[in-house]
Structure 1
Amino acid sequence: MHPRAEEFSRRATDEHGLDVEVYEFPEGTKTAEDAAEAVGCDVAQIASGIVLSAGDGLVVVVTSGANRVDEAKVADLVGVDPGDVSMGDPDEIKATLGWSIGGVPPFCHESDV
């Protein structure tokens, strides 16, 4: 198991009491469609984690792989102007959450978001 996947599994158990099953795909799953095909389910059953910059911080939005994130709705939910919401910077995401884009889990981040 990849060290980051192993760390996620351990942290999910230690921090949240969850026994997660990690699936790894050597060919990767760059899109929700790729992930759905890899596990044999509908794309709507895939949870996609999208990291946005919102005001002075980051927000992790977990959505169905069949949906798109509405940045204006995110802005309203976190109380910032719509123009202050954008895709997160990869370096900031890695430094703040401890995970690289494309591999950000819905929880077990290095800091609260």
Structure 2
Amino acid sequence: MSKSLKRVKAALETAGLEIEIIETENARTAQDAAEAVGCEIDQIAKSIIFEGAETGEILLFLTAGGNRVDQTRATGLAGQALARADATKVREVTGFAIGGVSPVGHLTPVRAYLDPRLSEFETVWAAAGTPRHLFRITPADLVQATQAQTGFFTE
């Protein structure tokens, strides 16, 4: 088991969750992930990482698979100007490569926000630290594990 998978599993266990991590052929994109597990694209919780333009703070936006983060709305929620974090910064702070960023198990704690669309489902799927691994979780458990604030930040 990779270090990334171990961190995700440990973070889920620390949150009091017994969740199975599954391996797929390819879950790099929301569409790939939805096809791999047979769910709606919006049941995929994408982990989108932004960086505070002035502070350098890393923020996590958990977005329904078919939605896109509206940077203006995200800026309003975060209370600071935001820019998309580059791949190097994402890996440095989260420990994950883009395409496999998990909502939990980051190397450095991050402030998180949840797209309300995800709460419309009984369960959602999220990356487990690699572009091939996913886990299913209830939206309430996802909020609890990430301490995410819910807010409208999508287009």
- TM-score, normalisation: structure 2: 0.64
> 1 or 2, which has the higher helix percentage?
1
Equivalent in the alignment of 1:38? 36
Does the alignment pair 1:79 with 2:76?
no
Equivalent pair of 2:10/2:105 in contact (CA under 8 Å)? no
Q: Which runs of 5+ in 2 are unaligned?
A: 111-155
Equivalent in the alignment of 1:9? 9
1:30 corresponds to which letter in structure 2? R
Does the alignment pair 1:103 with 2:100?
yes
Q: Distance in 2 between matches of 1:100 and 1:4?
A: 10
**Counterpart pick for 2:88 among 72, 85, 91:** 91
Superposition RMSD in Å = 1.5
Q: Which runs of 5+ in 1 are unaligned?
A: none
1:17 corresponds to which letter in structure 2? G
Q: 1:109: how far off?
A: 1.2
Say which structure, 1 or 2, has more relative contact order (CA 8 Å, 6+ apart): 2
Q: Distance in 2 between matches of 1:8 and 1:107?
A: 6
Equivalent in the alignment of 1:49? 47
Equivalent in the alignment of 2:19? 20
Name which one, 1 or 2, has greater alpha-carbon Rg. 1
Q: Distance in 1 between matches of 2:8 and 2:103?
A: 10
Structure 1 runs (4+) deviating above 4 angstroms are none
Q: Distance in 1 between matches of 2:104 and 2:2?
A: 18
Aligned pair count reads: 108
1:76 corresponds to which letter in structure 2? G
Q: 1:31: how far off?
A: 1.2
Give the share of equivalent positions with the same residue, in percent: 34
Q: 1:52: how far off?
A: 1.2
Q: 1:3: how far off?
A: 4.2
